[in-house]
Amino acid sequence: MPRIDPQTRRPLFLARLAGSCFTLALVVGLAVAPIAASEAAEEAQANPAESKADDAADAQRYEDLSLFTHVLSLVRASYVEPVDEHLLLRGAVRGLVQELDPHSSFMDIDAYTEMQVDTRGEFHGLGIEITKNQDEAIEVVAPIDGTPASRAGIQARDRIVSICPTERPEDWTEDCRPTQDMSLFEAVSLMRGRKDTEITIYIFREGFDVPKPFTIRRDVVKVASVEGKQLEDDIGYVRIRSFQENTANELRAELDGLRAESGGKPAGLLLDLRDNPGGLLDQAVQVADEWLSDGLIVYTQGRDDSQRQDYPARSDRGRNGYPIVVLVNAGSASASEIVAGALQDHKRALVLGVNTFGKGSVQTVFPLEDGSALRLTTALYYTPLGRSIQEVGIAPDIIVQAAESPVVASRRRVRERDLQGHFTHDEADPDAAAAGEEEGAEDASVEAAARPDVQLSRAVEVLKSWSYFDRLSGGAPIASGAASGAASALPDDAPGE
């Protein structure tokens, strides 16, 4: 039986490698039954223009495949050194997918295994969240509490300038290697390893004259995706780090604990989605469903009109009766934006912070026969009001900048629109009005008070003031400090991982 494409429900026609010359033979058109050929001829007579276009596409496809095999043959026969044909073909597959968009990728066995580990939330390593900008050293987002990195004194905003693994990779000639030219995946692979083995990383932070070595012993790291605590005046606080396989269950447990601690119902809730890169779509839907009882949470739209899928709220959910503020920043992406957008569209919560990352696409992982996988963008997602946040992000109802040092503040954070080959907002939502520059919105409303966490403090103040929620139904952004300046700088169609 042929394999079936889950999107089109049609048989997949595979390109196969045959013989020592690596001649590519398309299964398309081979051994076609006479009745199928007859049907194709009748269709061509009925739609001559469409048939001509299909013939031209087929001809171009054969020319491209001929070019590929010619180049491959030349490399095999003429390159200065013998080549690993397996690596060459894997590289060709990887390059093919990289031509699509920044979130589609071919994952080899190691990368696919790493992705599965991330969604499970348990691994052997140091216990740090890291990020990286192109041509810069690895930066620590935060150490995870109770992990080897936390015990060793690693801090948020530390720069990991070089990594010195105990077991040096075979292709290394040096003991340590700078992270500036590493990929994020390579750095993660080096820092993870067997329990009780050691690794040395060189850290540079503000106040250091030179990078300093930190030798850390790896251990089991269990990443709880949800953590919560009670703040002043029975205000609950819940932070979701990422959307893993068990995030919704962890959230329910935290909410039940906060409800018991507050004596039945919290006075308000802070839902912290800052620096949450996203994760599993079904978990984002279940999280938003905790506070919604009807209507859409999100819907996804594939290439064809028939490929729309709605994710409605369930009537047995909906924790109501208390106000909610959702904290977001430039690191809130994908699934985080789904939750924030759903609660914002349903007027169930105010969103506070700065514009989010702006990733409005959905990826599907297709496992392959050899243990690798294809991560492919298969749909775009839209908020309950039909808005796409692709490229523009979610505009907060209350704009509050984080208090950062001048050095950190000078670094512009990478967003979806900065990624090469990304879908534009116009492609995702052609009928929307042109989106404005969100950077101006952020600059227009800088919180003056220098608190440890300005956004969190401001959110507590908001929950104490019901007047903010009275204004929620009006839909006008509320600026922190200079209301008119911040509001005028917001994108006209500021839409709601």
Cα–Cα distance for residue pair 323/265, rounded to 1 Å = 11
Terminal Cα distance for the chain, rounded: 35
Count CA within 13 A, CB hemisphere, residue 347: 9
Cα–Cα distance for residue pair 368/121, rounded to 1 Å = 23
Cα–Cα distance for residue pair 166/217, rounded to 1 Å = 10
| Helix/strand/coil percent split, the chain, to 5 | 35, 25, 45
Q: For residue 140, give the amino acid letter.
A: V
265 is catalytic: no
Q: What is the DSSP letter of 321?
A: S
Q: Which of these is catalytic: 158, 345, 397, 429?
A: 345
464 is catalytic: no
181 is catalytic: no
Q: Which of these is catalytic: 225, 332, 334, 480?
A: 334
Q: How many CB atoms lie within 10 A of CB 4?
A: 11
**Token pair in block for residue 281:** 């779509």
Q: Which of these is catalytic: 242, 275, 359, 480?
A: 359
Residues in the chain: 497
Helix (H) or strand (E) holding 57: helix 48-78
- Nearest CA to 393 out of 341, 349, 440 is that of 341
Helix (H) or strand (E) holding 131: strand 128-131
Active-site residues, by number, are 334, 345, 359
